[in-house]
């Protein structure tokens, strides 16, 4: 599991850079600039709310489970004034499903403000999951004691036409998991593109504007609504007086985040302890940004070497007025981290650093076969009352697979079994259930399922099909006789009619039950 970084936000920050500080101010605010691309979901809300330039929408269209609740705090800000919580302890996970473009890159942000919504004094601890990858634990106890909100971030690639963000109980979860806000922000394909997002996600550790003071820098300064926290230490700071074009930098940082810098005098080395927390041993993505604040000149340069924890990071870096970014797409770090900038012997000015980002590199937690995911999603839509955890990845993480679903250990993961007998299910079986070609057993006995029996002919590994005690009607699909490995076929006590296919009557080794129908 990645580093569970919990970023604290003062309640007046409200998830945007230009944000009203009260309900009344938020209601009166008019959009100043176009909304950044993506989804901004106000969990538990019953209507849209405009916050600065961002319109937050209710979450009802993205999730089918959980209870909405208000946070009883005076003058609370709109995006933190409601939440959705999940009291059903039988569900393995609770998932938001957000439309996405397959192969596109997104910034995913979850925000939590407890506010004692359940009458308790201590918020619950629970897990969060993105598309089957166990992301981190959520523990907001410290922020709750300080009256602050908490957010988590990652950069990930959509593997299908939607992305799922799920919460799940842990053995130590004592009360209902909850969430205040969810964001899915479109990023450009060029951003962070040295990471193989088919295999990894980037979990944000920190993102800093060096030499800056005051509020967090975000939208509209950062068109992707990333948060750049001000960072200063005991070193001198400076401010740029030359124009800065974000398009000149890889990852497109906002000009305002590069406006300041930490520096030192001519001839001196610059040492910066960053990030401001100890890191667990892991692999990280590190990006460092440099920009000479002086007017561009061919006769005055700022050249220095960059090292990280005593190891060369980049030698002979020339921090021009146009700016430059250097990065490592994978570096092993642990504990405290030190950036050392050593000036060239003839450099007329000291080294400097303007901004920095660091992400933990997290392996994707496997994938369920795309055809199986699609078929299971179709099945969930065809059932009028599926189990409450039937959203997100059907198989992953393994401890949070859908209720009644058994899966393989292969890569990609396959759905092997379905056991939902006597659960009061209604609805029908879609034709696409036949796409579950790895299925061994299906047990749907004792429900209220209706409609025809679909074509199972492509499910050649199927050994047992139990559909007894339902309301299926029409003839028995003759495709069942073509299932080579089928050993048990229970169709009794339905509303089936017509002839029993001869291929089933003569199938060797098949145990078949058809009583309680109108069959011949």
Q: Do 173 and 124 touch, CB atoms closer than 8 A?
A: yes
Q: Taking the chain, what is the end-to-end CA distance rounded to the nearest angstrom?
A: 58
* Higher-scoring residue by pLDDT: 448, 344: 448
Residues 339 and 245 in one domain: yes
Of the listed ranges 19-28, 62-71, 82-91, the one predicted with least confidence = 19-28
In a domain, residue 168? The reply is yes
**What confidence score (pLDDT) does residue 296 get?**
62
In a domain, residue 75? The reply is yes
Residues 179 and 230 in one domain: no
Closest CA to 178 of 108, 110, 83: 83
Task: Report the CATH number at residue 243.
Answer: 2.60.120.430
Q: Do 79 and 52 touch, CB atoms closer than 8 A?
A: no
Confidence of residue 520 (pLDDT cuts 50, 70, 90): confident
In a domain, residue 33? The reply is no
Within its chain, how far is the Cα of 101 from the centroid? 14
Confidence of residue 19 (pLDDT cuts 50, 70, 90): very low
Residues 346 and 471 in one domain: no
Residues 135 and 257 in one domain: no
Residues 135 and 237 in one domain: no
Q: How many domains does the chain have?
A: 3
Residue with tokens 């036409």: 161
Containing H/E element for 319?
none
**What confidence score (pLDDT) does residue 386 get?**
96
Confidence of residue 181 (pLDDT cuts 50, 70, 90): very high
Residues 313 and 389 in one domain: no
* Structural domain containing residue 431: 370-519
Residues 445 and 494 in one domain: yes
**What confidence score (pLDDT) does residue 192 get?**
97
Within its chain, how far is the Cα of 504 from the centroid? 47
Q: Do 517 and 494 touch, CB atoms closer than 8 A?
A: yes
Alpha-carbon dihedral of residues 19, 180, 49, 205, nearest 10 degrees? Answer: 40
Query: Is pLDDT above 90 for 379?
Result: yes
In a domain, residue 144? The reply is yes
Span 453-463, average pLDDT: 96
Domain edge (last residue) among 187, 222, 245: 187
Query: Is pLDDT above 60 for 300?
Result: yes
Residues 358 and 424 in one domain: no
**What confidence score (pLDDT) does residue 14 get?**
39
Residues 381 and 259 in one domain: no
Closest CA to 252 of 201, 334, 185, 169: 185
Query: Is pLDDT above 80 for 30?
Result: no
**What confidence score (pLDDT) does residue 26 get?**
39
Q: Do 386 and 86 touch, CB atoms closer than 8 A?
A: no
Query: Is pLDDT above 90 for 387?
Result: yes
Percent of the chain with pLDDT over 90: 81
Q: Do 23 and 49 touch, CB atoms closer than 8 A?
A: no
Residues 404 and 506 in one domain: yes
- Calpha distance 288→279 (Å, rounded): 17
Confidence of residue 298 (pLDDT cuts 50, 70, 90): low
- What ranges make up the beta strands (E) of 24-140? 38-42, 49-51, 54-58, 67-70, 82-85, 94-99, 105-112, 125-130, 133-139
Residues 158 and 76 in one domain: yes
Burial of 215 from C-beta contacts in 10 A (0-12 / 13-18 / 19+): middle
pLDDT digits (tens, 9 = 90+) for 326-347: 999 999 999 999 999 999 988 8
Instruction: Name residue 262's beta-bridge partners.
Output: 237, 353
DSSP 137-193: EEE-HHHHHTT-EEEEEEEEE-SSSEEEEEEEE-TT--S--EESEEEEEE--TTTTT
Q: Six-digit token pair at 46?
A: 């019953």
Task: Report the CATH number at residue 467.
Answer: 3.80.10.10
Residues 284 and 144 in one domain: no
Task: Report the CATH number at residue 169.
Answer: 2.60.120.260
Integer CA distances (angstroms), 213 to 223, 261, 355, 373, in order: 20, 11, 13, 47
Query: Is pLDDT above 90 for 51?
Result: no
**What confidence score (pLDDT) does residue 21 get?**
30
Q: Do 473 and 450 touch, CB atoms closer than 8 A?
A: yes
> For the chain, what is the largest distance between any 2 Cα atoms, rounded to a whole number of angstroms?
98
**What confidence score (pLDDT) does residue 301 get?**
82
Phi and psi (nearest 5°) for 400?
A: -125, 30
Percent of the chain with pLDDT over 70: 93
Residue with tokens 């319109």: 55
**What confidence score (pLDDT) does residue 75 get?**
81
């Amino acid at each position: 599991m990645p580093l569970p970084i919990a970023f604290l936000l003062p309640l007046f920050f409200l998830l945007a850079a230009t944000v009203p500080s009260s309900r009344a101010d938020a209601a009166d605010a008019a959009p100043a600039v176009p909304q950044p691309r993506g989804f901004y979901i106000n969990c538990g809300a019953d209507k849209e709310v405009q916050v600065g330039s961002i319109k937050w929408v209710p979450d009802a269209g993205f999730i089918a489970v959980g209870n909405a609740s208000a946070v009883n705090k005076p003058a609370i800000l709109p995006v933190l004034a409601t939440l959705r919580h999940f009291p059903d302890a039988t569900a393995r996970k609770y998932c938001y499903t957000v439309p996405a473009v397959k192969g596109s890159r997104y910034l995913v942000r979850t925000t939590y403000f407890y506010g004692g919504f359940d009458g308790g004094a201590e918020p619950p601890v629970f897990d969060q999951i993105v598309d089957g990858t166990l992301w981190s634990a959520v523990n907001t106890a410290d922020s709750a004691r300080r009256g602050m909100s908490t957010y988590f971030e990652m950069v990930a690639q959509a593997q299908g036409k939607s992305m799922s963000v799920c919460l799940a109980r842990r053995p130590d979860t004592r009360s209902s998991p909850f969430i205040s806000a969810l964001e899915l922000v479109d990023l450009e394909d060029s951003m962070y593109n040295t990471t193989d997002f088919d295999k990894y996600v980037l979990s944000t550790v920190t993102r800093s504007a060096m030499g800056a003071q005051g509020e967090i820098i975000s939208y509209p300064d950062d068109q992707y609504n990333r948060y750049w926290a001000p960072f200063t230490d005991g070193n001198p700071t400076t401010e740029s007086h030359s124009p800065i074009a974000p398009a000149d930098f890889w990852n497109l940082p906002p000009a305002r985040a590069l406006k300041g810098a930490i520096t030192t005098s001519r001839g001196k080395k610059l040492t910066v302890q960053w990030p401001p927390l100890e890191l667990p041993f892991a692999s990280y993505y590190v990006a460092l940004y440099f920009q000479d604040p002086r007017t561009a000149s061919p006769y005055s340069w700022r050249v220095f070497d960059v090292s990280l924890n005593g190891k060369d990071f980049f030698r002979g870096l020339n921090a021009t007025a146009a700016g430059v970014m250097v990065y490592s797409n994978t570096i092993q770090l642990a504990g405290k981290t030190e950036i050392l900038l050593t000036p060239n012997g003839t450099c007329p000015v000291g080294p400097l650093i303007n901004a920095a980002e660091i992400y933990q590199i997290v392996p994707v937690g496997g994938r369920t076969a795309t055809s199986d995911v699609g078929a299971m999603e179709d099945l969930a839509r065809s059932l009028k009352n599926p189990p409450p955890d039937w959203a997100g990845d059907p198989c992953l993480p393994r401890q949070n697979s859908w209720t009644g679903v058994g899966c393989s250990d292969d890569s990609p993961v396959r759905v092997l079994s379905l056991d939902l007998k006597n659960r009061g299910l209604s609805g029908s079986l879609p034709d696409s259930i036949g796409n579950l070609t790895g299925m061994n057993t299906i047990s749907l006995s004792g429900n209220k399922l209706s409609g025809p029996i679909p074509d199972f002919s492509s499910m050649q590994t199927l050994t047992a099909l139990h559909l007894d005690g339902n309301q299926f009607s029409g003839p028995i699909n003759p495709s069942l006789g073509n299932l080579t490995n089928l050993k048990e076929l229970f169709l009794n006590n339905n509303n089936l009619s017509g002839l029993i296919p001869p291929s089933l009557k003569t199938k060797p080794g098949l145990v078949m039950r058809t009583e309680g129908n109108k069959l011949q």
